[in-house]
Amino acid sequence: MKLKTIREAKKLKGARVLLRVDFNVPLKDGKVVDDSRIRASLPTIEFLRKAGAKIILLSHLGRPKGKIVDELRLDPVARKLGEILKCKIKKTDDCVGSEVEKIVEKLEEGDVLLLENTRFHPEEKENNSEFVKQLAKLGDLFVNDAFGVAHRAHASSFGIAEFLPAAAGFLLEKETSELARVFENPAKPLVLVLGGAKIDTKIGVLKKFSELANTILLGGGIANTFLAAEGFEVGESLREPDKADLAREILNLANSHGCEFVLPEDVVCVDSNEELSNQPKTFAFRADAIPPNMKILDIGETTARRFSEIIKKAGMVVWNGPVGLFEIKLFEAGTKAIAQACAETSATTILGGGDTIAALKKFKIPAKKFTHISTGGGAMLEFLEGQELPGIQILKN
C-alpha cells in the first residue's frame, strides 16, 4: 500500500495546512538544547512555504498530563524555529478556540504559526471527536510529519486525518522507507544490537528478529535478565526476575531459527553499596564469575571487541539502546565501542531511541556516519515489530 505524500497534494497555494511535527525537544533554562527534531521537519516546512501554503504547526512537548504546565509551553521552540528559518514564527497560547481561529484567519501565504502544546488538553490523547473537529476546522489539509508519535492514535496525529484530506511529510516518508529496508531483502548478515533497561517495550522486536536476524547482540539491563535466566549470578544488577521464562522462550525461538544470540561474556561492575556520584572503583568479571554484591553497569572489553567485530562484518545493523550506563564516563566504553563500530562498518546502519542518539552526541559521532537515525523511539520499535502504526496506516491509499 502506497503512502500519500505532500508531493501529490494539489492547490497548496493559499491553503491552510495543519502540519503535525514532533518538536518534543529537550529544554534547559527556557532554551532548546537539541534542535535535531526541529531540523528534521525543515524540508517539509520549507516545501510548504515555497508552495505558498499557510502553515499551522501542531506538536506536543513533554508529559503535561492534560494540564497547562508553563515550563512545557512551546515558546522556546518557536524562537528556535524562527532562528533556523530566519523568519518570524507566530505562536498562540492554545491550540483550539476562537482566539486561535482569529489568528489563523489572518495568516498570509508562507506564514508559519505554531500552536500551543496539544497535550495541555486531555482530549488529545483520548482522540476526542469534538476536540479533533476543533483542530480540523483550522485547516484545509492535514500533513503528518511526526514519526515519533505515529504509533499513537491521538487527535493531532491520527484523528484529524479522518476529517481532512491527509498526506505524509518528507520526514515521515523517509522514516517509513528507511525502516522498511529491514524487511525488504536486507543485506546479510543482519545484526540486531539491543540495549536499555527493560524487556517490555522490546519483546516484539526480539521475537521478530529472532526469526529475521542472523545475530542478536544484547547489553544493558535487558542482557542481565537473559544472563539470570541462563543461570548466571548477576548480583544486585538491574534485571527483571519475572521475565525469566520469557527470556528463555526468546532464546529458544532464536535457536530454532538459526539466529545466534550473543550475551555479554564479561562485564564492568561496581560494589552495589557504592555511590555512583563518588567515582567508585570498578571491577571486571567474566559473566560466569560475578560476585553477589556486584552491580553490572557496562559490557566488558572482550564483549565490546566481539560485538564490534560482528558489527563490522554485517550487511545491515539495527541498533536501539545503550549497553551500559554511558552517561557516566566509567561505564561508557561498551556503548562507545558499538557506536564507533557502527560508524566504521560498510553495512547499512539503522539507529534509533533517545538514549542511543544521546550517546552519539556525547561521543561526537556525526549523523552522516550512519545510513539512518530514526527520530522515533517507541515508534521505531513498533514498526520493527511489524505492527501497523495508526498515524501511518490512516495515510495509506
Residues annotated as part of the active site: 37, 198, 354, 378
d(CA 47, CA 30): 29
Q: What angle do CA 111, 117, 122 make, to 5 degrees?
A: 135
In a 13 Å sphere around the CA of 375, the CA atoms on its Cβ side amount to 26
Angle at which helices 170-180 and 42-50 cross, to 10°: 140
- Taking the CB of residue 238, how many other CB atoms lie within 10 A of it? 16
d(CA 110, CA 241): 56
Position 320, amino acid: N
- Strand, helix or coil for residue 91: strand
What are residue 312's DSSP bridge partners?
Answer: none
Position 272, amino acid: S
Closest CA to 161 of 174, 181, 144: 144
